[in-house]
Amino acid sequence: MNQNPAGFIADTKTLSNTLRFVPQFYSENGDLRRRLDAEAQWTSENNVEQLIALGSDKVFFGSANFNYENRARVANAVQLFPYHAGHFYITDDTVSGAKLQQPEIYAIYSFSLSEQISFGIEGGYRLIDALRFIGSSARTIDRHLNVCAGVMYQMNTVYIGTLFEIEDGQEKIDARGVDVFNISLRKFRGDRFSTVAIGSTLNSLTKRRAYRWGAEAIYKSENSMIEGGIVANLRRRNFSIGVPSSGLVDIEDTFTNQEQLSASGIVRRQTPTNNLTAMVSFERANTWGSLSRRNLLLAEWTLNEVYATISGAQAITATNTLFGIELIVGTRSMDSSLYIDNQFTQRQALWTRVSAGIEQKTFQTLLLRLGIGFSKNGIDVVTGVDNVEQLEFTGGFGLLFKKTLIEVAVSNHVRRTAQLKRNGLMATLQVTFY
């Protein structure tokens, strides 16, 4: 529940120094996708992370990973994340593969100034180098930086905290077609209307900026089995697509703004053998896009979501078994207006998810795990289709040694409608040294 880096030291007081290696493989393919998404993709992630307690009042966590991604049969999309900037895309006329390389670092430093006050700061930096092979042969350099600072104050059994986060990023595209007569680069505005520029080269710069302010109040007592709290976040972000110039200010061509408000309330009852949690959450995102900050409004859309979660876990000490179950029920509503296409849409639907898992400890060293999940969405906000069902299976095992834990997990999920389907497979190896 805690999203504040200032509370990280309290969350890790019961943990020892750890070093962890996490290689991971993920693949996805199928027809249930958006028009500019890849038909298939393979991702390899290699992550190393370490938690270090610097005395009793300071803690440091750092991680570094390198991701390699191969996207197969990408139709038209030139941008790495074409849907992030609303209804504005940069495209070409070909179907091609693309390869991405992504190093990333992340760190948290949290410390206690006194028994009542703690501070924390976290930050991450990501760099993506991508190349598209056919058509425009677009080369993309994408960087992203985020920094978050927080403070938390303890009043007896109540913790009150606040945080502020800044994100900054940009994607620079250099696209060069082989033949001026068969390459065309478009910037789409809406579903039907587009501006077409036929040529052999295009240089574009997508800028991203986001701010987040968060506040929380948490009740936590060592003498009580009950704990809970309220967390709220206000996030504002914008995207602009422009043409790089030699001056200090780029020529801005399109602009998207989004304001997002989210709040959650949670209550948990916890004993040495069982855990029962209830949570209610609300999210509202309002977004609009225009040709520039001072020009024609082209699209406006709002997404509201309310959902409730009930989860529980029970340990059976006689058989060394742990069992857990989770149920989520929510509703989504969308209100979209594409002014340039004269389209106005209002939709609302329910979504549910139920999942369960079991872990069996054998010979005091072997952990066997199995999980299953099923969800149904009346509206899928990613692909825009109705009545999407998803079935997930997860299995794995863990080996416990004196100061080492080795964990292996394999999961598969299938998302489908009556006509479309998409499969995802993930394999993870996790080695932790204490």
pLDDT, tens digit, 9 for 90 and up, residues 89-100: 888 888 899 999
Residue 42 near residue 66 (C-beta atoms within 8 A):
no
SS3 7: helix
Residue type, 338: L
Residue 240 near residue 290 (C-beta atoms within 8 A):
no
Minimal CA–CA distance to 151: which of 7, 9, 54, 53?
7
User: 431: which strand partners?
Assistant: 21, 406
Minimal CA–CA distance to 215: which of 158, 258, 161, 277?
161
- Prediction pTM value: 0.89
CATH of the domain at 334: 2.40.170
pLDDT, tens digit, 9 for 90 and up, residues 374-390: 999 998 888 888 999 99
Task: Give me the pLDDT at residue 60, please.
Answer: 94
pLDDT, tens digit, 9 for 90 and up, residues 291-342: 887 778 888 999 999 999 999 999 999 999 999 999 999 999 999 898 888 8
Instruction: Evaluate if residue 12 carries a pLDDT over 80.
Output: no
State which residues form the domain around 28: 5-433
Minimal CA–CA distance to 6: which of 153, 114, 145?
153
| Residue 372 neighbours by CB under 8 Å, 6+ apart | 355, 356, 357, 391, 392, 393, 394
Q: How many domains are contained in the chain?
A: 1
